[in-house]
Amino acid sequence: MPQPTRLQQDLAERIVQLVNDDGLAIGALLNENSLARRLEVSRTPVRGALQHLEEQGIVARRPNRGVELIAIPQKNLASAPPPDDDEEWLVRIARDHRAGSLPQDISEIEVMRRYGLNRPAVQRVLSRLADLEMVERKPGYGWRFLTGTRDRATHDESYRFRLMVEPMGILEASFRLDPSWIEMMRRLHGDTLERHWHESSSVAFFEMNAAFHEGLAAASGNRFVHAAIRHQNQLRRFSQYDWKFGFERVVVNCREHLEMLDYLARDEREIASLLMRRHLERASQVRSE
Amino acid sequence: MPQPTRLQQDLAERIVQLVNDDGLAIGALLNENSLARRLEVSRTPVRGALQHLEEQGIVARRPNRGVELIAIPQKNLASAPPPDDDEEWLVRIARDHRAGSLPQDISEIEVMRRYGLNRPAVQRVLSRLADLEMVERKPGYGWRFLTGTRDRATHDESYRFRLMVEPMGILEASFRLDPSWIEMMRRLHGDTLERHWHESSSVAFFEMNAAFHEGLAAASGNRFVHAAIRHQNQLRRFSQYDWKFGFERVVVNCREHLEMLDYLARDEREIASLLMRRHLERASQVRSE
DNA sequence: TATTGTATTTCATCATGACAGAATACAATC
DNA sequence: GATTGTATTCTGTCATGATGAAATACAATA
């Protein structure tokens, strides 16, 4: 009981979500069986999640009767994406390599030694870096970083690719955008514009940016469009996490996003699509200056 | 020495490739060191590959002097893609599931038992099926097949996606197509049209088709376009391997490909791009009849 | 009877060691 | 001196068993 599992944490969040969606009031009784059924897991991890919520004072066990809701939980910050355990290692290794503190060619054992990771973890991390085309297996043993010719060309190709997919995604017949999503995005962008700007906000800014583009890709109703953009975001995450945006760039970006949201709210998708095209073209030139 | 490694097989093929590229004649001496350097591996696997070639009567060892080329090897069939070891299992599992002989939800151990695979192999295979969105991890333990709603919608979304990417790829400024590739493709398509058609040719036909689209994607000079189409091919490979094409469909397909090749040979890319668009639109309707 | 409490079984991950193949170094031969 | 032959070291994969968590079955209680 000291450390809730990742599954248990996720379930706890999803239970909070269910409570909100169902509009339950204080005093309502939950029960493990129906939760387990709705969440498609067994009772065991649900118990763990409930215990976790109990420690937070959100529910209280009523022996043999159920679990009473004793406080309405408020959802955490707007859809904080659950940070993957391996992810921090991805970022760290990518950064270390860029800083030149890693050799161009490296074996799995060397990575294990340097970072104190076990082998399965190293293999997961390297596989994911390979998916992002940041490393590749060497023919014999070991791995090789690909960041030689990569950065310059990749940046352009990424934008060229997104220019093919994102504006068209908005025009798909299956495009459906949740109005509440638009509202949430508007609020996030408004906040970013008004809040005082720190260098340290660049990660948050990146994530908002990524969420905007991914959300529209998801709305296209085409899983391949969505998957492609998610992949692009993942790719950019590492090369841009410690990229220092000037505030002017942030302002321009938010304004362009807000403009698109305005048109999308009125279902003016042709215009939004054009704006997306121009937005990407402009953004692609930022770095190459 | 009974079984050459996969790496050794690959090296043997690449050595043959080098011999052809360099235009070496019978009697020429190869040496392990320079081959190892050019192939970016150590001498050990090169030795294995040479031994393999020796058994085929292509080279002969001259102790302490080198390895003599005693027969000009002819390249195997046009770019036969080295069939991945796991791949047959992917196909088999996908097929078994479609045939209904696998449960909707399944654990890794169950897969190990049914197919007599070891755990790492099962994990590789399931991961790849997950990349193709054919299965997903269940929250707790086990995996779930996604082929419920999948097939119908996926087919359409796949073509919608390719319609965004493939015609545009041809128009990219970085587009470069190797004339010899065009020639090879023409020959392949011509052969397919003339040869008598068997049901059993459908795999070969699929692969030619895939190679055509992948080749054009690669020519775009954009790695994301290329990766996206490779992914689409992989996806289609499983749902279409035992799809029975009527011969009329094969004829139409080849004619359309050949027409595109004609325009591409003259660098008439706008027209080729339009033809690609119509080709995909037409192909997308075949199955939904 | 509905629900939680408890015990048992099953599963996936990790740790460890064995093994085959690749990398490397050095000896032998022309 | 260049090349192959041979030995040694290093690396990654597989096999096995231990461990913790999830799934499942059954008992207990309101």
Q: Which regions of A108-170 does DSSP assign to beta strands (E)?
A: 135-137, 143-145
User: B140 CB contacts (<8 Å, ≥6 apart)?
Assistant: A7, A41, A42, A45
CA separation for the pair A264, B151 (Å, rounded): 30
Q: Among A7, A40, A222, whose Cβ lies nearest the Cβ of B161?
A: A222
Q: Is A109 helix (H, G, I), strand (E, B) or coil?
A: helix
Residue bearing the bigger pLDDT, B69 or A84: B69
pLDDT tens sequence across A77-106: 445 556 678 888 998 998 899 888 999 999
Contact of B220 with B172, CB cutoff 8 Å: yes
pLDDT tens sequence across A19-56: 988 888 888 899 999 999 999 999 999 999 999 999 98
CA separation for the pair B112, B98 (Å, rounded): 19
User: A216 CB contacts (<8 Å, ≥6 apart)?
Assistant: A166, A169, A170, A177, A264, A276
Contact of A16 with A56, CB cutoff 8 Å: no
CA angle A277/A279/A285 to nearest 5° reads 105
Q: Is the pLDDT of residue A265 over 60?
A: yes
Indicate whether B141 and B216 sit together in one domain.
no
Interchain proximity B40–A138, CB inside 8 Å: yes
Q: For position B241, what pLDDT does the model report? A: 63
Q: For position A3, what pLDDT does the model report? A: 77
Inside any domain, residue B128: yes
* Tokens 């998957």, residue located: A227
Indicate whether B161 and B176 sit together in one domain.
yes
Inside any domain, residue B273: yes
CA separation for the pair B176, B281 (Å, rounded): 25
User: B29 CB contacts (<8 Å, ≥6 apart)?
Assistant: B62, B65, B66, B67, B68, B69
Q: Is the pLDDT of residue B75 over 70?
A: no
Q: What CATH number does the domain containing B136 carry?
A: 1.10.10
Interchain proximity B154–A223, CB inside 8 Å: yes
Indicate whether A115 and A178 sit together in one domain.
no
Decide which of A120, A145, A170 is a domain's last residue. Answer: A145
Indicate whether B256 and B131 sit together in one domain.
no
Inside any domain, residue B80: no
Contact of B284 with B156, CB cutoff 8 Å: yes
Decide which of B145, B164, B181 is a domain's last residue. Answer: B145
Lookup: nucleotide whose C1' is closest to B29 CA: D3
Indicate whether B100 and B137 sit together in one domain.
yes
Q: For position A150, what pLDDT does the model report? A: 61
pLDDT tens sequence across A205-245: 888 999 999 999 999 999 999 999 999 998 888 776 656 66
Q: For position B59, what pLDDT does the model report? A: 93
Indicate whether A117 and A207 sit together in one domain.
no
- Min distance B164 CA to chain A CA atoms (Å): 6
Nearest to A184 by CA among A253, A266, A252, A265: A265
Nearest to A45 by CA among A8, A81, A9, A20: A8
Look at chain A and report how many structural domains it folds into. Answer: 3
Residue bearing the bigger pLDDT, A87 or A73: A87
Q: For position A217, what pLDDT does the model report? A: 98
Query: pLDDT confidence of B80, banded at 50, 70, 90?
Result: low
Indicate whether A25 and A43 sit together in one domain.
yes
**Protein residue at shortest CA distance from C1' of D30:** A64
pTM for the whole structure = 0.88
User: Both ends of chain B: CA-CA distance in Å?
Assistant: 53
Q: For position A288, what pLDDT does the model report? A: 47
Q: For position A81, what pLDDT does the model report? A: 57
Indicate whether B49 and B20 sit together in one domain.
yes
Indicate whether A135 and A224 sit together in one domain.
no
* Tokens 């493939």, residue located: B166
Which chain B residues have a beta carbon less than 8 Å from that of A223? Answer: 133, 154, 157
B30 CA – C12 C1', rounded, Å: 50
Indicate whether A105 and A30 sit together in one domain.
no
CA separation for the pair B228, A228 (Å, rounded): 8
Please, what is the average pLDDT of chain B? 89
Residues on A contacting B at a C-beta cutoff of 8 Å? 7, 10-11, 39-42, 45, 133, 138-140, 154, 157-158, 160-161, 164-165, 168-169, 172, 221-225, 227-228, 232
Q: Is the pLDDT of residue B202 over 80?
A: no
Bases in strand D with any atom closer than 7 Å to a protein CB: 2-7, 10-16, 21-25, 28-30
Residue A213 burial (C-beta neighbours within 10 Å; 0-12, 13-18, 19+)? buried
Q: Is A177 helix (H, G, I), strand (E, B) or coil?
A: coil
Interchain proximity B222–A157, CB inside 8 Å: yes
Q: For position A199, what pLDDT does the model report? A: 61
pLDDT tens sequence across B145-179: 987 656 778 889 999 999 999 999 999 999 999 99
Q: Is the pLDDT of residue A247 over 90?
A: no
- Min distance B166 CA to chain A CA atoms (Å): 9
Please, what is the average pLDDT of chain A? 89
Q: For position B199, what pLDDT does the model report? A: 61
CA separation for the pair A72, A70 (Å, rounded): 7
Decide which of B103, B123, B145 is a domain's last residue. Answer: B145
Q: For position B242, what pLDDT does the model report? A: 60
> Token digits for B66?
């080198």
A60: left (phi over 0), alpha (psi -120 to 50) or beta: beta
The one-letter amino acid code at A69 reads L
Q: For position A2, what pLDDT does the model report? A: 60
Bridge partners for B259 per DSSP: none
Q: Among B133, B139, B160, whose Cβ lies nearest the Cβ of A40?
A: B139
Indicate whether B163 and B242 sit together in one domain.
yes
| DSSP annotation of A201 | G
Inside any domain, residue A82: no
The one-letter amino acid code at A187 reads R
Indicate whether B135 and B22 sit together in one domain.
no
Query: pLDDT confidence of A249, banded at 50, 70, 90?
Result: confident
Inside any domain, residue A228: yes
The one-letter amino acid code at A184 reads M
Q: Is the pLDDT of residue B115 over 90?
A: yes
Q: What CATH number does the domain containing A202 carry?
A: 1.20.120.530
- State mean pLDDT over B9-28: 91
**Domain limits at B131?**
87-145
Q: For position A203, what pLDDT does the model report? A: 80
Query: Using CA atoms in the order A39, A42, A47, A50, what is the torsion angle rounded to 10 degrees?
Result: 0
Contact of A220 with A175, CB cutoff 8 Å: yes
Q: Is the pLDDT of residue A1 over 60?
A: no
Inside any domain, residue A223: yes
| DSSP annotation of A205 | H
Inside any domain, residue A167: yes
pLDDT tens sequence across A174-210: 999 999 999 999 999 998 888 877 765 778 888 899 9
Query: Using CA atoms in the order B277, B279, B284, B287, what is the torsion angle rounded to 10 degrees?
Result: 180
Q: What CATH number does the domain containing A48 carry?
A: 1.10.10.10
Inside any domain, residue B1: no
